[in-house]
Amino acid sequence: PAGFPPGPRGDVAVELLRNPLAFLEDAAARHGGAVALVLGGERVVLVSDPGLAQAVLIDQAADFVKEGTAFFPGTALAGQGLLVSDGDTWRRQRQLANPAFRRSAVASYAAAMAGETRSLLEGPWAGGGARPVYADFNTLTLDITTAALFGTGLPRDQATEVTGAIRTAFEFFSERAASGFVVPEWLPTPGNAAYAAAVTRLDAAVYGVIDRRAAELAAAPAQAPQSLLDALLGARDEGGGRMARRALRNELMTLLVAGQETAAIALAWACALLAHHPAAQARAAAEVEAQLGGERPSAANAGSLRYLEAVVLEALRLRPPAYLVGRCAARDVNLGPYSLPAGTTVLVSPYLLHRDAARWQAPAAFRPERWAGVLAQRGGAAAALHGLGPNGAYVPFGAGPRNCIGTGFAMLEAVVVLASMLQRFRLSPLPGAAFPAAEPRITLRPSAVELIVDPR
Ligand code: HEM
């Protein structure tokens, strides 16, 4: 094996931050499916070759771990939860959390998804006009995720406190995730002190809810879990052990961090694409009308919205919220023809895989139709997302053992929210507005998505 792959000379952090998508495409075009980069002094290998991506994410998953991966913020908020832990700690937590994300469990959150969406559509959207939809979806997915996490049955003061604490802590977290330069969390800056205070308040609120619910369930076990919290409280490992209180808190916050912003971004891009592709929007709206009429979107009827599902898959292909997925070489490893020293950060790029010209026809075009065959053949999106996707180059939710535990949740949420919206509104760009630019940080977020929403 031949050491590091080829790559540009010098530190490219500034160039990458200036225009990440163009930078990534250019780097892959010039140097190929594996590119060695220096980013802020860190040696990084960017992977966009499907075979090498499969090696990192699936075949050699034990060689490429999370620990030591550069560029991860938010440990103060989420601690050592599923997203960042490794080895036996991760394995046990994942086993304990898996049942909470079974299809039947996920289906039980559809009512909260539809209900929270209705509040947005009947509230801020009621009058129509120009709306900051990305900001709206950030609030909406925070409300949906909070409802799924804690249920809708909390006493009012506790619900208000936990929601308020989450929002405050999240403002700090988003600011941090949005800045190109991340101040280490341990530095005693005023910003960090305020963030730490917000996390302390959040902890008190979350532990308050955990303890109250644990006591309630001990007194009167529920027939079925009412929330992700219930499911995690009820989870047992092979030895009958349960999740420790601290671990439970970390997983709840991890689910919030992992599931809220990604979902808001996915929805915002999907809406921008629909607004800029009126024929696709008309077709999706016609499908919703034909299948649902005025009926509320639910887990039971969402499966009949195949075209809308294709819209979501296609939006996730063109603008994958997780456009880079990071790993760290646990030891000296061989990756295809290369050999990488222990500690090397490897960034697999869903964004680049999704535009691989050898795998996709007209990769830059928004064509939900391209998913029709796959969805019909495999009977829905869940099956289409198996492995590295239908053609080995589709990984919006990652792949292998560390794939997204919330895939089913996120797909249902997207379809339910979009269907609710299309039942009542037509979306269009502001007059003369270009397609929103990407503002890639840790996630591929849109700069802002402002759209006209017309009541139907
Ligand atoms: C992991 C994407 C929604 C919870 C991941 C990974 C990706 C991803 C790419 C793998 C990261 C890696 O390999 O390093 C997305 C996208 C979403 C979404 C694009 C929305 C469109 C959600 C939701 C939840 C969630 C709704 C929970 C409610 C998680 C967790 C992990 C994860 C806990 C870590 C799993 C593990 O390592 O065992 N997500 N996600 N995600 N996601 Fe999601």
- Asked whether 440 lines ligand 1 (CB < 6 A), one says no
What's the pLDDT at 221?
A: 87
Distance CA 56, CA 329 (A): 9
Distance CA 80, CA 244 (A): 13
- Asked whether 141 lines ligand 1 (CB < 6 A), one says no
Gap from CA of 312 to ligand 1 centroid (Å): 16
- Asked whether 409 lines ligand 1 (CB < 6 A), one says yes
What's the pLDDT at 188?
A: 67
Nearest residue to 447 (alpha-carbon basis) of 181, 438, 322? 438
Nearest residue to 271 (alpha-carbon basis) of 456, 20, 446? 446
**By alpha-carbon position, which residue is closest to atom 36 of ligand 1?**
402
Distance CA 335, CA 56 (A): 8
Question: 331 Cβ partners below 8 Å, 6+ apart?
Answer: 63, 342
What's the pLDDT at 441?
A: 73
| Residue 277 burial (CB count, 10 A) | 18
CATH number of 1-78+323-354: 3.30.43.20
Kindly calculate the radius of gyration of the chain based on its CA atoms and give it in whole angstroms: 22
Supply 205's token pair: 């609120």
What's the pLDDT at 198?
A: 86
- Asked whether 406 lines ligand 1 (CB < 6 A), one says yes
Give the type of residue at 99.
P
Distance CA 72, CA 257 (A): 12
Nearest residue to 106 (alpha-carbon basis) of 448, 344, 405, 403? 405
ipTM for the assembly = 0.99
Question: In the block, which residue shows the tokens 């709306």?
Answer: 131
Supply 56's token pair: 């990192």
Distance CA 169, CA 68 (A): 25
**Of ligand 1's atoms, which has the minimum distance to the CA of residue 398?**
9
Gap from CA of 179 to ligand 1 centroid (Å): 21
Per-residue pLDDT of the chain (456 residues; tens, 9 = 90+): 679 999 999 999 888 878 889 999 999 999 999 999 998 888 899 999 999 999 999 999 999 999 877 666 556 678 788 988 999 999 999 999 999 999 999 999 999 999 999 999 999 999 999 999 999 999 999 999 999 999 988 888 888 888 888 888 877 776 766 655 555 666 667 777 888 888 899 899 999 999 999 999 999 988 889 999 999 999 999 899 999 999 999 999 999 888 998 999 999 999 999 999 999 999 999 999 999 999 999 999 999 999 999 999 999 999 999 999 999 999 999 999 999 999 999 999 999 999 999 999 999 999 999 999 999 888 888 777 888 998 999 999 999 999 999 999 999 999 999 999 999 999 999 999 999 998 867 788 898 899 999 999
Query: Under DSSP, is residue 129 helix (H, G, I), strand (E, B) or coil?
Result: strand
What's the pLDDT at 1?
A: 64
Q: Ligand 1 pocket check: which of 262, 324, 346 to mutate, most ligand atoms within 8 Å of Cβ?
A: 262
**Of ligand 1's atoms, which has the minimum distance to the CA of residue 90?**
38
Gap from CA of 66 to ligand 1 centroid (Å): 14
DSSP H helical ranges for 220-348:
228-234, 245-276, 278-292, 299-302, 306-318
**Of ligand 1's atoms, which has the minimum distance to the CA of residue 410?**
26
The DSSP annotation for 35-96 comes to: EEEEETTEEEEEE--HHHHHIIIIITTTTEESTT-S----HHHH-S-TTT--HHHHHHHHHH
Supply 332's token pair: 């000296």
Asked if residues 100 and 228 have their Cβ atoms less than 8 Å apart, the reply is: yes
Distance CA 365, CA 361 (A): 9
Gap from CA of 188 to ligand 1 centroid (Å): 31
**Of ligand 1's atoms, which has the minimum distance to the CA of residue 93?**
38
* 426 DSSP assignment: E
**By alpha-carbon position, which residue is closest to atom 17 of ligand 1?**
262
Gap from CA of 256 to ligand 1 centroid (Å): 10
